[in-house]
Amino acid sequence: MTSAQTRTLPRLSVVIPSYNQGRFIERTIKSIIDQNYPDLEIILMDGGSTDETMQIVEKYRSHFAHIQSEPDGGQTAAIASGFDRATGQFISWLNSDDTYAPGALLKIGTYLADHPKVQFVYGDMWLIDAEDRPFAFKKSVRFSLGVMKYAFLTVPQMSAYWSRDLYHRVGGMDRNLRFCMDYDLFVRLASASAPVCIRGDIGNFRIHGESKTSTLETVRQAEDKVVQERYCGIKPSNALAFRLARLFWTGVLILRFIENGSLVSRMRRRFGNNMKSECG
């Protein structure tokens, strides 16, 4: 028996929001089940898929604490409704096209068991393509609330877990947000209890042509400003001052990249992406 198995690991609840993701959802489900985490609650909140999603889900019914498939108010509402049902000490969601790395939940649960005062944790992530091929590693940086508010989210949603009690204490999800609901939630969670970065691969974020990241960039930019107007001391409406504040916190972020040794790889990836955009 390993030292992790002798611990009393916290109960984890993961919500899977889905809608017509039959192409990917089996890989998402299997990546959760294959964790073999000893106290895990899986909740599926499907928006009434019309593809093969629910036939695939049915194969794994015994692994779910709750399955719902009916029209809903969108992804954010589905996640929030799933969290309302969750019983885990710590909760998260995993989109139906993303996956967990092997052993991810044991890393999370072991750290939380060893650090009972910590309420919010996150780890590293990979970007993967439609065929599960990893193409970029994103090593997470040490947390800074200023960086999160002004420069970059820094906490990858698919690599994070937080206390259910903390979630309800800060007011839960904003169901009016379509894209930046994680940004909005994480700023409130982090303002109440600073998250801790733990080393190790946790989540795999899938980039493909139908993903929200590929199709809703305008929505993301608009909602970013909504969140920043809410929580930043210097508001985006004060354009010059906000740009200066953003520049300062971007500098802090760069120092964090240097600190964890990821600056060069991130610059190469950003330069490569810019070249693709210019040549495309």
- Sorted by where each starts, the structural domains of the chain and their CATH numbers stand as 3-279 (3.90.550.10)
Cβ(125)–Cβ(156) below 8 Å: yes
Q: Residue 17: enclosing H or E segment and its boundaries?
A: strand 12-18
pTM: 0.91
Contacts 24+ apart (CB under 8 A), 183-186: 183/153, 183/223, 183/224, 183/227, 184/223, 184/226, 184/227, 184/230, 186/148, 186/153, 186/155, 186/157, 186/160
Q: In angstroms, rounded to a whole number, what is the distance separating the alpha carbons of residues 167 and 186?
A: 9
pLDDT at 280 over 60: no
Tokens in use for 129? 């393509």
pLDDT tens digits, residue range 76-94?
A: 999 999 999 999 999 999 9
User: To the nearest whole number, what is the mean pLDDT of the chain?
Assistant: 92
Q: Chain-centre distance of CA 114, in angstroms?
A: 22
pLDDT at 214 over 60: no
Pairing of strands 12-18, 90-93: parallel
Q: How many CA atoms lie within 13 A of 71 on its CB side?
A: 0
- Coil, strand or helix at 21: coil
pLDDT tens digits, residue range 151-172?
A: 999 999 999 999 999 999 999 9
pLDDT score at 273: 58
